[in-house]
Amino acid sequence: MGTTARDERRQTLPGHVYTDPAWFDAEMARVFRAMWVVVARGDEIAAPGDFLVREIAGDSLILVRGQDGRVRAFHNVCRHRGTRLCLGEGGHAAGSLQCPYHAWTYDLTGRLIGAPHMDEVEGFRRDDHPLHPVACETWGGLLFVHTGRDPAPLASQLGGLPARFAPWGLEDLRLVRRETYHVKANWKLIVQNYNECLHCPVIHPMLNRMHHYLGAENVPTTGTYCGGAMGFREGVETLSTDGRRRRAYLPGLRAAERARVDYFAIYPNLLLTLHPDYVMTVTIRPRSPLETDLVADFLFHPEEIAKPDFVFEDAVAFWDGTNREDWAISEQSQLGIASRAYTPGPYSAREAQLWEFDQWVVGKVDRSTDDIS
Ligand code: FES
Ligand SMILES: [Fe+2]
């Protein structure tokens, strides 16, 4: 089918949505502070007392594993005079978190358990001043938080994805390698780039030897994700530097899932790429309209990791190279879009997911009657 009249009206977004700080702030309020977002992996804070500090959409959050094994999230704000409670990126708390200013102390459930000199204040009750909680849930080994008011459960955002991805056994996989990137491009360009392979023959010589670039079978886009699967070219068994698979298939996979890679953008900040023998997650952390931090995690099955001849470098090298190609072209996109000469351009029929994502973001941000919290 050729391009339809409808497709010709589908255009890229105006430049200001990639450059304007006010638009970016609205995205943080109406998308990132109004949805479940990925902040970390559960195994980063495996033991009771382990904690992490993460900044997401303008909020500094503490994620801490309690004595009961549950991870809880709190705003990193002391209830005395507001000081940041935890400095740095995280660590281990032996049963409590103490503010570095006047030593107010909270247990791992956020309850205030020590407040020097406050007992003499009439009417003061410790129970009235717990840390401000943030909703925190786990799926597939990932920690999600929702900083908005009265969030619906994470399951309502993920829809059918947990069932679709059950065969990969995400919660059983372990982090072997993390690569982090600072990219001078708007976060939406990262999502858009992930959702089309028209650039694959041009940008990705290695990836193009693994898949046919027009071979994607996409699922219908929903309000919380888009994605699909791509089969391999003849003789290719996984995405590695040479297409060879050096690890056993993930144990839950059936024949169809062993023969493809699933690519899903789970809005707003998770790119999930599932291979026959390993999984890569890319977490998107917008810093400003013009800058985005990206965290790529490479996950493998514990039985493979335990083998004396376990290797992972072929998978990491493949994706580190391919990801850098994507980040570099996204930076060039950002530069062109920021130019005063830029005007919206037409999408092809094979860029439907990009247009749908654009409309989704604009629909969220343009709800001008809503409060921005
Ligand atoms: S501001 Fe935290 S104890 Fe005073
Ligand atoms: Fe790409």
pLDDT of residue 18: 98
Cα(54) to ligand 1 centroid in Å equals 20
Residue nearest to atom 3 of ligand 1 (CA): 102
What does the pLDDT average to over 112-136? 96
Pick the atom of ligand 1 nearest to 103's CA.
Answer: 3
Per CATH, the homologous superfamily of domain 37-150 is: Rieske [2Fe-2S] iron-sulphur domain (2.102.10.10)
What does the pLDDT average to over 122-133? 97
pLDDT of residue 372: 44
CA gap 275, 222 in Å, rounded: 23
Domain segments of the chain: what residues?
Answer: 37-150, 159-365
Sign of the alpha-carbon dihedral angle for 151, 294, 276, 222: positive
* pLDDT tier at 2, thresholds 50, 70, 90: very low
Cα(214) to ligand 2 centroid in Å equals 13
> CATH classification of 159-365 is 3.40.190.10, yes or no?
no
Tokens of 333: 């996109």
Pick the atom of ligand 1 nearest to 78's CA.
Answer: 2
CA gap 24, 19 in Å, rounded: 8
- Choose one of 102, 112, 113, 129 to mutate for the ligand 1 pocket test, by most ligand atoms within 8 angstroms of C-beta: 102
Residue 1 has pLDDT above 70, yes or no: no
Sign of the alpha-carbon dihedral angle for 23, 29, 35, 37: positive
- DSSP-derived secondary structure letter, 127: G
- Choose one of 75, 78, 97 to mutate for the ligand 1 pocket test, by most ligand atoms within 8 angstroms of C-beta: 78
Q: What is the pLDDT of residues 286-312, one digit of tens each?
A: 999 999 999 999 999 999 999 999 999
**Ligand 1: residues whose CB is within 6 Å?**
78, 80-81, 83, 99, 101-104
Q: pTM for the complete prediction?
A: 0.94
